[in-house]
Amino acid sequence: MWRELIQSISDDFEFSQGASEQSLSKAESTLGLILPTELRKLLTETNGVEQRSAYLLFLLPVERIEKDNLEMRNSSALSFYMPFDNILFFADAGNGDKFGFPISREGKIGKDIFAWNHENDSRSWCAPSLKLFIQWWHEGKIKW
């Protein structure tokens, strides 16, 4: 479903082999959360998506999602930013900015997508779903 959807948006995206159940479960355990259903399904179909024209690893593979989120949450170099335990990063703008799902205090992950600006630590809403995030990214409606 996700590959077909993304291919229908553009042929500028390149796919990889899907993530294993083991790697998805490991990331969930390490991060202490359950991946959003849409993201989990996307990762089982393709473990990351590259945008060819921008030479950008746009949607991160599960191993990188795990690594980046741990680093963001635990880095002393980022301690002057607001905490990162309320967002699950899964995509990269290629300029230092990242995109993620919000996480409530109760640990529930929302469906909206927010952008984090690495220069000023702002967090801005950018899409109501993963599907529209991908579509709007390709259409240039999301600029960072």
- At 21, list the tokens: 């159940």
- At 131 the pLDDT is 94
Please report which confidence band the pLDDT of residue 26 belongs to, taking 50, 70 and 90 as the band edges: very high
45-96 pLDDT, tens per residue? 999 998 877 666 689 999 999 999 999 999 888 888 899 999 999 999 889 9
74-86 pLDDT, tens per residue? 988 888 889 999 9
Q: How far apart are CA 48 and CA 96, in angstroms?
A: 18
pLDDT average, residue stretch 117-139? 93
Structural domains of the chain, with CATH: 2-139 (3.40.1580.10)
Helix (H, G, I), strand (E, B) or coil at 133: helix
Give the residues across from 87 on adjacent strands.
102
- At 34 the pLDDT is 95
pTM of the predicted structure, to 2 decimals: 0.92
Q: How far apart are CA 123 and CA 110, in angstroms?
A: 14
